[in-house]
Chain A
Amino acid sequence: MEFKHKDIIALRDLNRQEIELLLATAESMREINSRAIKKVPTLRGKTIVNLFYEASTRTRTSFEIAAKRLSADTVNISPSTSSSTKGETLADTALNLLAMKPDIIVMRHAVSGSHYHLAKKVNCSIINAGDGAHEHPSQGLLDLLTIRDRFGRLDGLKVAIVGDITHSRVARSDIQGLTKMGSHVCLAGPPTMMPPGVERLGNVTVCATMKEAIQDADVVIMLRIQQERQGKTLMPNTREYSRYFGLNPENLRLAKPDAMVMHPGPINRGVEMSSYVVDGGQSHILKQVENGVAVRMAMLYHVCGGEMAE
């Protein structure tokens, strides 16, 4: 099985075998993260640019650690320090970066699809670290890995995704990944946070209430309320949101007794999840973060090979 993609922009573009290959590689990468010397020489001499147009701590740090553990050199560029504040376009920024010969650009951008635009203009690999409300493939993959760790499989599981579906790129990547691997995905959220044509997101069930979605679920994925993206009109206030769409120990009992709870972070405690659930035994949130490094190592490793296959 070869991985032939130069870029990883969306899980929509990958087939089941390719997703399985990435997960298998990530499992092997995990062993490196538990060693005393957490470094292998694989990507020695490669330069990776982390170009983050949107705020990020977890994802950027995770990509940076992943690159360093594979011995690549990393440079971080964020908008406050870059020329985009001086009016440079994305394509110009990219062409200028390209003149410095990076091997991979890891980018987060507020505009959905900007990575496809960029990938056409440059010959290095592009990895999407989140684009607008489109996809967040590394988060999708680490969610798949975390679920598979727990259950040993992905097919036949009922996965509830609850919250702001409209603005969530995590939801879109999760839907793509999970449905390709054979899970049954149920969505729930306030009607104002359901995108028009939600059923077109994939082979998903749209539930009217949160109860319906988490009933007998094996996995409950709670999404963050993206207050920076949505206007003030989508919900009356956070207390009302949490009453109807917050996860607490009472409604978690509707799910299967051994159900796992996940959240892409950062968490608004008391809004989408109560602290009892966040810190409870069914929460796998920190496990997700841990798997994030291994998954990103696998992505960096395979696009470097994919580049040569072109």
Chain B
Amino acid sequence: MTDNTTVLLDESGIKRALTRISHEILERNKGVRDVVLIGIRSGGAFLAEEIGHCMEVIEGERVPVGAVDITLYRDDIKSHGAHLPVGKTDISFSLEGKRVVLVDDVLFTGRTIRAAMDALMDHGRPGSIQLAVLIDRGHRELPIRADFVGRNVPTSLKENVAVRFNEKNQPVEVVLEK
């Protein structure tokens, strides 16, 4: 671990941000009807579970939660893609006509989101796709914008933002590494 790390959000900070995002998702979609959460492996998938719990507490109804692995949809397979083990995509319900909320931990260049949207399209035709992220660190390379943001963090390209999880896959802190 380097000494040059700053904690951006602690556990309760993350919890508050996810609770607010959950409220915003419910407000935007006027409830849980047709809403499904899809997390991007691996961080986003854990956060989607957390948001799913939050929404259940607020609304008293469980929304379907799935996970998508984007390794096979990367545009940088030549540089390092094919070394990566391929994770499992786990979407056990139809996306046809659903309001899909895509969840990721850190929004950066937008390329991961592009890949995830391509992956979702191969599973059916969603009614709409919205994007929820815990951290937006800027530096977009594609015309992609998040609908729900936990915290906007201006960063330099030399820095790295990491969301750390405990062994139960619950988020514990967000750190900025220099």
Contacts and interface: CB of A to CB of B under 8 A. Distances in A.
Contacts of B69: 28
Contacts of B122: 35, 37, 39-40
Given A1-B85, A24-B85, A42 B78 contact: no
Per DSSP, are chain B's interface residues mostly helix, strand or loop, or mixed? loop
B77 interface: yes
B124 A2 contact: no
Contacts of B74: 42
Interface in A169-204: none
B153 interface: no
A298 B87 CA distance: 12
Interface of B: 69, 72-74, 77-90, 118-119, 122-124
Contacts, number: 62
B124 A36 contact: yes
Q: How large is the interface on A (under 10, 10 to 19, 20 to 34, 35 or more residues)?
A: 20 to 34
B85 A41 contact: no
Interface stretch (A154-162, A264-272, A302-310): A302-310
Max count, chain A CB within 10 A of own CB: residue among B86, B88, B119 = B86
Contact of A28 (B73, B89, B118): B89
B79 A37 contact: no
A3 B83 contact: yes
A39 B73 CA distance: 11
Contacts of A37: 122-123
Given A28-B69, A37-B122, A39-B122, A2 B83 contact: yes
Nearest to B69: A28
Given A39-B122, A40-B122, A42-B77, A301 B86 contact: yes
Given A2-B83, A35-B123, A40-B72, A308 B88 contact: no
